[in-house]
């Protein structure tokens, strides 16, 4: 049996130059691998947290390249929705890792509360997660560049409850953040966080929000090795708009990393999204980033009808959703893909109560008021948090499972968004103007 001979390849590059070129290429590859290792967080092995940040800090050249990457705006027919409402007059609380400085959010962020660093006002984000969530809701649309939010005229009220590891150990901190946001003007509360075990304190805070006519939105959580297999809490709290994630494409396929279950209420784009982060942009995926698109839709509805009760806003969103999967509500998509245009145009029968809220309050007496604060969203003042309880003092129900915050998975963007900052941005610091 004869052996096929491989043709000999002759290089047009002199051997000496070719050797030098190979050395350069090898060095670049090693540098890239080193960068990946250096930027992978130390706690990446934690079962509930999956994150890749390689190269994200270098993606800050031009904001012009982001427009074509924001598939969620086309899928949700944002341009048509903006002819009816743009979020003006509505405040969305982002209870998260804080909201940092970013050109896409200039003028959009109010002074809030920092329950991790008691000297802050929520406008610092060492993780980037909360900034990404905020821009998906209210990124400015005045110059056609950068990340454009689905409700670009809404205001963001930042409430930081997540530490530098993007986690929280005490559900009562999140509960305090929700109550503070409600008492300081939030019309919608976005919770892109959660865990496996329920919390009475957080349940009470959510019921407090309902009693104060506030819409509450939460992500259902992501599939993770060794992590929860059911929809996370607080997304599974009755009355909350629990959001799953879909992938790009006309078929609106469920993102394979999304948790599912009977508590699912709505679906929204949640993968291959361009996210704003302090210092630049990154590609993100996860139910954590689907939830803000539902929060933004709620903001659009409340912007068009400022006097509409929260219960009717919820009803409008679930009755106008595009039914996906099996007919009717299902475990993967809930009532279907959120539809901002339909929510802003359809005739929906008014309701008196939130039809999703099928459970009674946790059983504690009354709602009461949030812990006394000497702050307001504006002007800026130094917040003072209430006394913190030690972990040992927490009931097991409060301690376990509610320590995961990074539901969204930051994906390696590579060269796909190398031109995602303004061309004249010379340093890693963002300018005061866009």
Catalytic residues: 96, 129, 288
Cβ-Cβ contacts under 8 Å for 377 (sequence gap 6 or more): 91, 110, 111, 112, 157, 184, 185
Please give the radius of gyration of the chain, using alpha carbons only, rounded to the nearest integer: 23
**Which residues sit opposite 188 in a β-bridge?**
92, 215
The helix (run of H) or strand (run of E) holding residue 156 is: strand 155-160
Q: Give the whole-angstrom CA distance, residue 154 versus residue 403.
A: 29
Q: Can you name the residues that pair with 277 across neighbouring β-strands?
A: 280
Q: Computed from CA positions of residues 239, 83, 284, 251, in that sequence, does the dihedral angle turn out positive or negative? A: positive
H-type alpha helices, 14-128: 15-39, 71-75, 78-82
Q: Are strands 273-277 and 91-96 parallel, antiparallel or unpaired?
A: unpaired
Contact 275, 269 (CB under 8 A): no
Residue 23 CA: distances (Å) to CA of 27, 35, 69: 6, 18, 35
């Amino acid at each position: 049996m004869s052996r096929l001979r491989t043709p000999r390849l002759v290089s047009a590059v002199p051997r000496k130059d070719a050797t030098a070129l190979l050395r350069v290429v090898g060095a670049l590859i090693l540098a890239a691998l080193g960068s990946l290792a250096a930027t992978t967080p130390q706690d990446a092995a934690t079962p509930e947290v999956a994150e890749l940040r390689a190269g994200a800090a270098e993606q800050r050249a031009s904001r012009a390249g982001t427009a074509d990457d924001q598939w969620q705006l086309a899928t949700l027919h944002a341009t048509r929705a903006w002819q009816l409402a743009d979020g003006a007059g509505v405040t969305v609380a982002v209870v998260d890792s804080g909201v940092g400085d970013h050109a896409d959010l200039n003028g959009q962020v109010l002074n809030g509360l920092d329950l991790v660093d008691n000297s802050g006002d929520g406008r610092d984000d060492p993780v980037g997660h909360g900034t990404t969530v905020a821009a998906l809701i209210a990124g400015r649309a005045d110059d056609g560049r950068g990340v454009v939010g689905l409700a670009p005229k809404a205001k963001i009220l930042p409430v930081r409850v997540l530490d530098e590891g993007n986690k929280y150990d005490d559900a009562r901190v999140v509960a305090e953040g929700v109550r503070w946001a409600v008492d300081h003007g939030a019309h919608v509360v976005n919770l892109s966080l959660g865990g496996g075990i329920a919390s009475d304190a957080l349940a009470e805070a959510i019921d407090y929000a309902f009693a104060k006519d506030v819409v509450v939105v939460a992500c259902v959580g992501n599939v993770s090795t060794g992590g929860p297999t059911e929809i996370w809490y607080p997304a599974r709290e009755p009355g909350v708009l629990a959001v799953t994630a879909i992938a790009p494409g006309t078929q609106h396929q469920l993102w394979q990393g999304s948790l599912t279950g009977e508590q699912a209420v709505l679906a929204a784009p949640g993968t291959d999204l361009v996210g704003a982060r302090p210092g630049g942009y990154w590609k993100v995926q996860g139910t954590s980033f689907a939830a803000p698109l539902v929060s933004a839709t709620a903001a659009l509805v409340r912007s068009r009808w400022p006097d509409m009760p929260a219960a009717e806003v919820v009803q409008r969103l679930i009755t106008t959703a595009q039914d996906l999967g099996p007919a009717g509500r299902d475990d993967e998509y809930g009532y279907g893909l959120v539809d901002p245009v339909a929510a802003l145009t359809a005739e929906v029968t008014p309701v008196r109560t939130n039809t999703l809220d099928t459970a009674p309050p946790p059983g504690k007496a009354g709602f009461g008021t949030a812990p006394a604060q000497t702050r307001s969203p504006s002007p800026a003042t130094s917040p003072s948090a209430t006394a913190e309880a030690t972990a040992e003092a927490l009931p097991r129900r409060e301690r376990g499972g509610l320590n995961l915050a990074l539901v969204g998975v930051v994906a390696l963007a590579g060269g796909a968004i190398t031109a995602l900052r303004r061309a004249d941005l010379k340093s890693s610091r963002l300018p005061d103007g866009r």
